[in-house]
Amino acid sequence: MTPSTAGPTRIAYLLSQYPAISHTFFLNEVLLMREHGFSIETASINSIHPPAGGFPEDETREAARTFYIKETPKGAILKILFRTLVRRPGVVGRGLSAALALRPWDLPGMAYSLFYLVEAILLGEWMLQRGCTHLHVHFGGSVATVGMLTSIAWGIPYSLTIHGPEEFYDVGPSFLEQKLRQASFVTCISDFCRSQLYKIAPVASWGKFEVCRLGVRTAVFAPPPETTRETLHIVSVGRLHPAKGQMILLGAFRELLDRRLQVRLSIVGDGDGRSSLEDFIQTYRLKDSVTLHGALSHPATRALLGTADLFVLPSFAEGVPVALMEAMSMQIACISTFVAGIPELIEPGMEGLLVPPSSQPHLTDAMASLIGDPARRMTLARAGREKVLSSYDLYTNIGTLARVFERHGLSTGGLASRAPEVSS
């Protein structure tokens, strides 16, 4: 390809919340796409909530340059709306028509659509000021509704990255079909994800769906020195939510203790499900064997993973968990579930174990089998790291995403990449 003499396409990334400790892959994608030469500005629907110790350096720097739509003062909102109505009535007309068409017979729903339209007008105005000519949106929920309305109202092309699984549950009420139709291209994080879009999109549009897998920094998430522990350490990382299956994990762990196995459990993450887990731990007197660490920094999470003999994520619903990739990259034997894109990451019995979601007996037996067989644990752990090295390396997969962007006319302007540096 002949390097372009024009400048790079200015791309706006729209996310529900950016940066976020629980979604580091957003940050890494933005930073690495810039390293590939793309000019990327970031916008976030919602305000951020820094952890108690504050954000790391990269997140702090990104927060300072991100446009937070809901933080726009009311006076400024009214001024922008009035100015847009007077100077660009077509923007308001197209946006209003599209917003009202989403829920034509639902008054509360129409009110939500109008709120999304206001956010879309604010976003489009900001993109105009920043010189952005393309919008890329992560996830297909309400954030993509704002993205779609921005595209329609302002005539700005937009694209999507779909993760799942939430987008697939309420396809009609979330207007996923309309969002896919409006998008110039759509990247999917797994083959399973793409299959769910094939279900609802016309065959003629299937060519716009491309699989771009997530990834981890395999050099950073490297295997720790091998050690032998008398009490085996099981680790699980994920937001505390029923969908992550932590209650099933606690029940299975309790059965391991009943079998007189020497094990302890660490759960990293926070969320609405914490109180239920705490109640279970108290009811069954597990506090000496189970630790709820809450949300940890990235280095602290890596350090804890370095002490793990087994990583377990018994999710009921998932996309493809980055936490699972990180554990596999650190050469930890992993157990998860036959859900969504997880079997693409873990070939059962070869790179880890998979059990039916919600089946506590299967999970108990799977953990017990690996606890009692250190040789098999190591075989699975090594194969798991090889899988991540070959298919889920962050730098390789961001390169794939960059080529997709370029194929769809988003230019780097011929800017050379330097050695990438991403957040820890």
Query: Residue 16 has what pLDDT?
Result: 97
Query: Residue 7 has what pLDDT?
Result: 76
Domains, the chain, with CATH or none: 10-215+393-407 (3.40.50.2000), 232-391 (3.40.50.2000)
Residues 6+ apart with CB under 8 A from 42: 12, 13, 15, 18, 30, 62, 65, 66, 67
Percent of the chain with pLDDT over 90: 84
Beta-strand (E) ranges in 122-262? 134-138, 158-162, 186-188, 209-211, 232-237
Residue 368 scores a pLDDT above 80:
yes
Residue 420 scores a pLDDT above 50:
no
Residue 28 scores a pLDDT above 90:
yes
Average pLDDT over residues 327-338: 99
Residue 173 scores a pLDDT above 90:
no
Average pLDDT over residues 2-20: 81
> pLDDT tens digits for 39-88?
999 999 999 987 777 788 899 999 999 999 999 999 999 999 999 999 99
CA separation for the pair 198, 209 (Å, rounded): 9
Mean pLDDT of the chain: 94
Residue 254 scores a pLDDT above 90:
yes
Residue 418 scores a pLDDT above 80:
no
> pLDDT tens digits for 382-416?
999 999 999 999 999 999 999 999 999 998 876 54
Query: Residue 239 has what pLDDT?
Result: 94
> pLDDT tens digits for 205-234?
999 999 999 999 999 999 999 888 889 999
Query: Residue 1 has what pLDDT?
Result: 33
- Of 310 and 21, the structure prediction assigns the larger pLDDT to 310
CB 160 within 8 A of CB 147: yes
Average pLDDT over residues 182-197: 98
Average pLDDT over residues 350-354: 99
Q: What is the enclosing helix (H) or strand (E) of 370?
A: helix 360-371
Confidence of residue 22 (pLDDT cuts 50, 70, 90): confident
Confidence of residue 423 (pLDDT cuts 50, 70, 90): very low
According to DSSP, the β-strands at 263-268 and 186-188 are: unpaired
Q: Tokens for 70, please give them.
A: 């809901």
Query: Residue 413 has what pLDDT?
Result: 72
Query: Residue 105 has what pLDDT?
Result: 80
Q: What is the enclosing helix (H) or strand (E) of 337?
A: strand 333-337
- Of 391 and 418, the structure prediction assigns the larger pLDDT to 391
Residue 15 scores a pLDDT above 60:
yes
Residue 119 scores a pLDDT above 50:
yes
Residue 143 scores a pLDDT above 80:
yes
Query: Residue 172 has what pLDDT?
Result: 72
pTM of the model: 0.92
**In this predicted structure, which of 26-35, 321-330, 358-367, 411-420 has the lowest mean pLDDT?**
411-420
